[in-house]
């Protein structure tokens, strides 16, 4: 019976055991698969750019330079490029959380890399690259064979200077429509600069082609590049006339070293070049032209002799007239249409246009005065002249009168009579200056002991107080449009003063405290040439105007950063260059400006102007007239942007080259472009 019972239940037991083993195996398999999936999810995704970067490393190593291999030792297959361990490589993850990181920057400057230009072709296969810098290495070969087209969607900064690249200008670079900075200087490039470069690369802010062997003319299409702020073609073999717009916007140092280049801002005139064009190939003129040239020379000599005699006669007549007028003036008081003066041999009171007719030193001294400041050489007062105490409707007393600012300058120790005469003449010249963005001199009183200068009273304080006082939660932020307008006002005022003084005078102590805000909210430059009245400047005066340009650049940086140079803790231009070099440009700007949307391009453009003004080399600083025009162009672009924002469908509105704030704006300004 037991045997029968065992035979009955044994098959079912075997089947149950088999089923149990099968289900357990499935559970183990699923567990293993889950662990593998989790391990894969936790590990970084392989970068699709690794193969291209390793190909670039192989091309550099193949050049036979040990330093090249050493510089890229961290580039290995076992480490991902976006791990942060690859030298000079920076990545950025897309907005999608599942997307892999892509290489955005490759910066390998001065690390001893070598190789043929073909090595760069490997980097052209990194499609998301926005910043490529290989400057100051020893690459060679023709760049024309490198196709940069795959980088067109994203590349904005390209620095290949200080290598040994040769051949003609790379045609494929013209397809980089978003390119903002291009530096090919210090190579062996030859041929002509593409005539259409200004039409193809309209987003360029920096173009450096210096120290190559380019020939031909400077393309006129460069004049149509609205954002171009840095330009240099010095040290080439260019010829012809410099386009007018470029001549007005950039200094002579941008064009030096081109023997056949002529026209402003260079001293080499283009007339001689046109005359040489009529000569033969061997430098000799035809026989008939030679005889005519000899005859023309004799005619020129005769004409010059006649003109010289006439000029000598006019000079003699003018001297006689001056002597006669001097004798007449000694018997009657001085007067002219612009100023009226009352003077004795030692005291003089001069009134200029816009001053009250009853002004004299007695009325000035009797006015209600308040001291505004006192220095080692001058004291400043606010004076209410001709004030009368009247009872108003509410029974309160009201004081009516002209409010002026009086600066009292003591006589310089050891000053001669000629020095005092020169000081009075300079005060007369200052009284003739009139501009909406300067503080006008209305009158002055001079004696042997002191000089009193009477200026308009500007009620709303200075730009320094507007920027730096009352910082805190209750402060009303100073918006971007107001800052840009004040910058343009100050630039126009300083440019006028530099021009009207004939490059002889300078401010010599320009700060944001010397820029005052009038009742209409406009900025006015004050105290121009005041130091010249105190301590005459030694020559050359033009160098002092370059110092004014640097000081104005610091003021622009104050407007942009919100930092004051008076705290003494930081050199603002040096700090800005350091931050920009590290590609954190957004951290430069004042926190009050971060609320402004859509003006990042204008801020970066003004930052470029400020750094150009504050250049360490005075020869690189532009004239104030050029700076004023640059700021005016920035405001014009801002106005167009505002119109397009209000009506995007309006004709002429385009956003093709507008960069995003994180890349094209906050990272496009780099110190390596300087």
In tens, the pLDDT along 280-296 reads 334 443 444 444 445 56
Q: Are 150 and 197 found together in one domain?
A: yes
What is the pLDDT averaged over residues 496-520? 90
Q: How confident is the model at residue 649 (pLDDT cuts 50, 70, 90)?
A: very low
Q: Is residue 4 part of a domain?
A: no
pLDDT of residue 65: 55
392 occurs within a structural domain:
no
Confidence of residue 543 (pLDDT cuts 50, 70, 90): confident
Residue 27: inside a domain: no
Q: What is the CATH number of the domain that holds 373?
A: 3.30.200.20
Q: 198, 233, 262 — which closes off a domain?
A: 262
Q: So what's the pLDDT on residue 11?
A: 56
Greatest mean pLDDT range, 8-12, 40-44, 452-456? 452-456
Nearest Cα to Cα of residue 594 among 534, 531, 658, 666: 666
Distance CA 436, CA 489 (A): 9
> Does residue 61 form part of some domain?
yes
- Looking at the structure, do residues 528 and 539 belong to the same domain, yes or no? yes
Residue ranges in 444-540 assigned as alpha helix (H): 463-468, 480-500, 530-534
Residue 329: pLDDT above 70? no
446/539 same-domain check: no
pLDDT at site 334: 39
Q: Which of 262, 292, 309 finishes a domain?
A: 262
Per-residue confidence (pLDDT) for residue 331, from 0 to 100: 38
Structure tokens that stand for 187 in this block: 């190579």
**Would 29 be classed as within a structural domain?**
no
Residue at a domain's end among 211, 243, 262: 262
What pLDDT is attached to residue 238?
95
Is residue 565 scored above 90 in pLDDT?
Answer: no
Query: pLDDT by residue (tens digit) across 87-135?
Result: 889 888 655 444 578 888 999 988 889 888 888 888 888 888 999 999 9
Q: What is the mean pLDDT of residues 540-557?
A: 88
Confidence of residue 488 (pLDDT cuts 50, 70, 90): very high
Q: Are 525 and 493 within 8 A, CB to CB?
A: yes
What token pair was written down for 499? 């021009």
- 209 closest CA partner among 193, 197, 228: 193
Residue 535 pLDDT? 74
pLDDT > 70 in the chain, percent: 73
Q: How far apart are alpha carbons 250 and 306 in whole angstroms?
A: 41
What is the predicted pLDDT for the residue at 642? 65
Instruction: Establish how many alpha carbons lie within 13 A of residue 182's alpha carbon, considering only the half-sphere containing its beta carbon.
Output: 23
Q: Where are the alpha helices (DSSP H) in 469-595?
A: 480-500, 530-534, 541-561, 572-581
548 and 413, same structural domain? Answer: no
446/493 same-domain check? no
Short-list 134, 123, 232, CA closest to 672: 134
CA distances for 232 relative to 206, 388, 424, angstroms: 9, 63, 44
User: What is the overall mean pLDDT for the chain?
Assistant: 78
Sign of CA dihedral 616, 621, 627, 631: negative
* Better-scored residue on pLDDT, 30 or 444: 444
Which alpha helices (H) appear in 563-599, and where do they start and end? 572-581
pLDDT higher for 669 or 561?
Answer: 561
CATH assignment of the domain containing 637 = 1.10.510.10
Question: Cα-flanking dihedrals φ and ψ of residue 418, to 5°?
Answer: -65, -35
Q: Which H/E stretch holds residue 159?
A: strand 157-159
- What phi and psi, each to the nearest 5 degrees, are found at residue 332? -145, 155
Q: Measured between alpha carbons, how far is 541 from 547 in angstroms, rounded to an integer?
A: 10
* Chain-centre distance for alpha carbon 667: 16
Taking the C-alpha atoms of residue 273 and residue 550, their distance in angstroms, rounded to an integer, is: 36
The answer on 534 and 430 residing in a single domain is: no
pLDDT per residue as tens digits for the range 163-181: 999 999 999 999 998 898 9
Please determine, for residue 614, whether its predicted confidence score (pLDDT) is greater than 90. Answer: yes
CA dist 227 and 604 (Å) reads 11
Q: What is the CATH number of the domain that holds 186?
A: 3.80.10.10
pLDDT tens digits along 31-75: 777 676 554 444 444 577 888 898 888 888 765 555 556 888 888
Q: Are residues 118 and 246 in the same domain?
A: yes
pLDDT for res 182: 94
Residues 541, 505: contact at Cβ < 8 Å?
yes
The answer to whether residue 579 sits within a structural domain is yes
- Before 540, cis peptide (omega within 30)? yes
**63 and 83 part of one domain:** yes
Same domain for 525 and 576: yes
Predicted local distance difference test score (pLDDT) of residue 3: 52
d(CA 509, CA 515) in angstroms, rounded, equals 11
Is the bond preceding 265 in cis, omega lying within 30 degrees of 0?
Answer: yes
Same domain? 427 vs 470: no
What 8-state DSSP symbol labels residue 173?
G
What Rg value do the Cα atoms of the chain yield, rounded?
Answer: 36
Question: Looking at residue 666, what is its pLDDT?
Answer: 34
Q: Is 261 helix (H, G, I), strand (E, B) or coil?
A: strand
Q: Are 178 and 156 in contact (CB under 8 A)?
A: yes
Check if the beta carbon of residue 126 is closer than 8 Å to that of residue 629: no
Tokens of 554: 């610091």
The answer, yes or no, to whether residue 594 has pLDDT greater than 70, is yes
Evaluate if residue 332 carries a pLDDT over 90.
Answer: no
From start to end of 412-469, where are the E strands?
A: 441-446, 450-456
Q: Is residue 244 part of a domain?
A: yes
Which residues are CB-neighbours of 207 under 8 A, at least 6 positions away? 182, 201, 222, 225, 228, 230, 231, 232
Return the half-sphere exposure (C-beta side, CA atoms, 13 A cut-off) of residue 383: 23
Predicted confidence (pLDDT) per residue in 408-430, tens digit: 988 777 778 888 888 889 999 99
- Domain count of the fold of the chain: 3
Domain that holds residue 535: 460-642
In this prediction, residue 397 carries a pLDDT of 45
Cα separation, 244 vs 254, in Å, equals 14
| Confidence band of 673 (pLDDT split at 50, 70, 90) | very low
The edge-to-edge listing of strands for the beta sheet with 114-116 is 114-116, 138-142, 164-167, 188-192, 213-216, 237-241, 260-262
Same domain, 608 and 467: yes
pLDDT at residue 373 in the model = 82
Whether residues 226 and 248 share a domain: the answer is yes
**Per-residue confidence band for 608, with pLDDT thresholds at 50, 70 and 90:** very high
- Is the pLDDT at 84 greater than 60? The verdict is yes
With a CB cutoff of 8 Å and minimum separation 6, the contacts of 568 are none
Higher pLDDT pick, 507 / 303: 507
Indicate whether 340 belongs to any domain: no
pTM assigned to the model: 0.49
Q: Of 171-180, 426-435, 632-641, which gets the smallest average pLDDT?
A: 632-641
Confidence at residue 592, expressed as pLDDT on a 0 to 100 scale: 85
Structure tokens at 628: 């004023």
């Amino acid at each position: 019976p037991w045997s029968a019972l065992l035979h009955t239940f044994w098959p079912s037991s075997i089947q149950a055991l088999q089923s149990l083993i099968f289900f357990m195996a499935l559970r183990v398999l699923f567990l293993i698969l889950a662990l593998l999936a989790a391990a894969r999810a936790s590990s970084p995704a392989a970068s699709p750019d690794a193969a291209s970067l390793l190909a670039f490393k192989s091309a550099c190593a193949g050049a036979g330079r040990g330093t090249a291999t050493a510089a890229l030792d961290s580039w290995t297959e076992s480490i991902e490029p976006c791990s942060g361990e690859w030298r000079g490589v920076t990545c950025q993850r897309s907005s999608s959380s599942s997307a892999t990181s892509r290489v955005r920057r490759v910066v390998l400057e001065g690390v001893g890399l070598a190789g043929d230009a073909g090595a760069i072709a490997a980097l052209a296969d990194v499609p998301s690259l926005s910043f490529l810098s290989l400057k100051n290495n020893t690459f060679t070969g023709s760049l024309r064979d490198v196709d940069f087209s795959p980088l067109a969607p994203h590349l904005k900064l390209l620095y290949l200077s200080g290598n040994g690249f040769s051949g003609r200008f790379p045609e494929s670079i013209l397809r980089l429509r978003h390119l903002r900075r291009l530096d090919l200087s210090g190579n062996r490039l030859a041929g002509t600069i593409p005539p259409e470069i200004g039409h193809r690369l309209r987003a360029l802010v920096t173009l450096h082609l210096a120290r190559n062997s380019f020939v031909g003319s400077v393309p006129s299409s460069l004049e149509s590049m609205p954002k171009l702020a840095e330009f240099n073609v010095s040290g080439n073999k260019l010829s012809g006339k410099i386009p007018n717009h470029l001549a007005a916007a950039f200094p002579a140092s941008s064009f030096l070293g081109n023997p056949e280049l002529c026209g402003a801002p260079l001293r080499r005139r283009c007339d001689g070049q046109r005359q040489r064009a009529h000569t033969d190939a061997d430098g000799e003129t035809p026989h008939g032209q030679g005889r005519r040239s000899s005859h023309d020379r004799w005619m020129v000599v005769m004409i010059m002799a006649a003109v010289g005699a006439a000029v000598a006669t006019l000079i003699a007549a003018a001297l006689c007239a001056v002597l006669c007028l001097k004798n007449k003036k000694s018997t009657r008081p001085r007067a002219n249409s612009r100023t009226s003066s009352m003077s004795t041999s030692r005291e003089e009171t001069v009134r200029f246009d816009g001053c009250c007719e009853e002004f004299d030193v007695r009325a000035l001294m009797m006015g209600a005065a308040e001291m505004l400041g006192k220095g080692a050489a001058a004291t400043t007062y606010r004076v209410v002249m001709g004030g009368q105490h009247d009872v108003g409707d509410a029974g309160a007393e009201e004081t009516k009168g002209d409010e002026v600012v009086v600066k009292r300058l003591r006589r310089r120790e050891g000053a001669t009579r000629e020095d005092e005469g020169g000081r009075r003449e300079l005060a007369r010249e200052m009284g003739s200056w009139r501009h909406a963005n300067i503080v006008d001199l209305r009158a002055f009183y001079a004696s042997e002991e002191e000089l009193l200068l009477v200026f308009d009273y500007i009620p709303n304080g200075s730009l320094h107080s507007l920027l730096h006082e009352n910082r805190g939660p209750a402060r009303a932020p100073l918006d971007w449009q107001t800052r840009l307008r004040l910058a343009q006002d100050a630039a126009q005022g300083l440019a006028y003063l530099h021009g009207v003084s004939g490059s002889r005078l300078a401010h010599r102590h320009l700060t944001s405290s010397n820029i005052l805000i009038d009742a209409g909210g406009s900025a006015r430059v004050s105290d121009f040439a005041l130091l010249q009245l105190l301590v005459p400047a030694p020559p050359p005066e033009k160098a002092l105007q370059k110092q004014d340009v640097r000081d104005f650049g610091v003021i622009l940086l104050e407007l942009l950063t919100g930092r004051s140079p008076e705290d003494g803790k930081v050199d603002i231009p040096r700090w800005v260059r350091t931050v920009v070099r590290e590609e954190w440009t957004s951290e430069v700007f004042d926190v009050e400006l971060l609320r402004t949307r859509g003006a990042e391009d204008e801020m970066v453009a003004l930052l470029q102007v400020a750094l150009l003004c504050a250049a360490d080399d005075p020869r690189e600083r532009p004239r104030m007239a050029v700076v004023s025009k640059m700021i005016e162009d920035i405001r014009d672009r801002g106005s167009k942007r505002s119109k397009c924002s209000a009506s995007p469908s309006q004709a002429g509105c385009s956003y093709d080259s507008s960069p995003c704030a994180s890349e094209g704006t906050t990272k496009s300004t780099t110190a390596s472009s300087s």
